[in-house]
Structure 1
């Protein structure tokens, strides 16, 4: 293996795992509020697929603090997505960002973010973001690169 190949871990796929103390409640939230249905189900978890990526909600006795973004979607039109989710009963967080991200505050659930690293374009970018919690307290985000 040469340096260009990276480590074996760097060649592995990354998959997000979100804890749920009540898997049935989480399934209802993801279906009713987010419009998502599991692609696969097992006794201890639900597997979702979105645009070629996947995440799992798994049964856990522990809970997330919900104090940070655990997973986010990158979208083309954040206003449309926020409006759709609000129409489904999702409540968005209102807060300020740390100075490293411009110190901006959300307005109607959406904030302008400086220094965002997007999987769609290289380097720090300007973006817009919004955050909400799922039924299990996991903090989920939505981002849109704007330049």
Structure 2
């Protein structure tokens, strides 16, 4: 059953070395080594899932959120990642406004940032 499987999210990266440093050094993910022989580099995510960084041409990145990390304490995670050099986005749009990088979306709070390759990533916290 697909609902019981582990997943690997594949993101396009134009510079695999730069992207690998970002995910290991700035996000703190654990490298798992190479993937299926196409140059993809794998990183461990929580609960057995993985992230693959696949070499791709510049511009293959998406303009929308491609990966979100659920965290217990959004403010603390933002502070930790900022100390590692991650820069968070701020929005002031009719449908999305952030205060100190955080948007409140119903019972969730979220914050967005870009990886070294331009992919949009998100941290979110579900209100308990």
Calculate the TM-score normalised by the size of structure 1: 0.75
> Structure 1: which 4+ aligned runs deviate by more than 6 Å?
none
User: Structure 1 residues 65 and 51, CA, compared in 2 at 3 Å: closer, same or farther?
Assistant: closer
1:64–1:137 CA contact under 8 A, matched in 2: no
1:57 Cα deviation after fit: 0.8
- Contact between 1:19 and 1:63, CA under 8 Å: does it hold in 2? no
Segments of structure 1 that go 5 or more residues without pairing to the other structure are 1-7, 115-125
Structure 2 residue aligned with 1:119 = none
Secondary structure of the structure 2 residue equivalent to 1:76: coil
TM-score relative to the length of structure 2: 0.85
Cα RMSD for the two superposed structures? 2.1
Counterpart pick for 2:16 among 16, 20, 23: 23
Highest Rg: 1 or 2?
1
Q: Deviations over 1:5-59 (max 9, x none)?
A: xxx6666544211001100010111122112231122451111112222111111
Any unmatched runs of 5+ in structure 2? none
Is the alpha carbon distance of 1:96 and 1:65 closer, same or farther for their aligned partners in structure 2, counting shifts above 3 Å?
A: farther
